[in-house]
Amino acid sequence: MVALATAEACDTNAALLASGDLRVLQPTFQIYGQCRAFSGSIVTLKVFEDNVLVRELLEIRGEGRVLVIDGGGSMRCALVGGNLGQLAQNMGWVGIVLNGCIRDVDEINACDIGVRALASNPLKSNKKGIGEKHVPVYIAGTWIRDGEWLYADSDGILVSKSELSI
């Protein structure tokens, strides 16, 4: 997959930015994983300090999609660790964007996916299975919806209502 440079996408899509069809996430994320740049159709998930539904979604074939998780910005525990990073890679997900924490940083950094998260925390999450799949989530200053497109690289993260051409 050819990566779309986010800076170039912003420069060449002023009308989409003005209309809100292309949005820039606030720069609050740390970069993890082997893939510094990734893009794909979005699958959304809203959870809080509970990663059962994260695993459920990652066990489904990713088919080049990006899992966007609204973890409520919690810094008290991790929602994704090395096992889930490896599962995401094995199941064909290209990336995970997490409004929350990861753990097992070295393991995630060895995975051939892109991961963006707020920070790392060694404490694991609860296992109650509470949350919502495929719902609009508000992360880093913008609404993100299931089926939209996400583009991430070292400069930042963009969300588009439709796939951008390279």
Give 143-154 pLDDT, tens digit per residue. 999 999 999 999
Instruction: Provide the token pair at 153.
Output: 């690289």
Tell me the binding residues. 81-84, 103-104
Task: Please tell me the pTM assigned to this model.
Answer: 0.96
CA distance 13 to 63: 27
Tell me the binding residues for substrate. 81-84, 103
* DSSP H helices in 36-115: 52-58, 82-90, 105-109
Q: Please tell me the predicted confidence (pLDDT) of residue 2.
A: 53
Q: What is the mean pLDDT of residues 11-28?
A: 97
CA distance 119 to 115: 11
Give 52-85 pLDDT, tens digit per residue. 999 999 999 999 999 999 999 999 999 999 999 9
Q: DSSP class of residue 5?
A: P
CA distance 4 to 156: 12
Instruction: Provide the token pair at 164.
Output: 């951008």
Tell me the binding residues for Mg(2+). 104
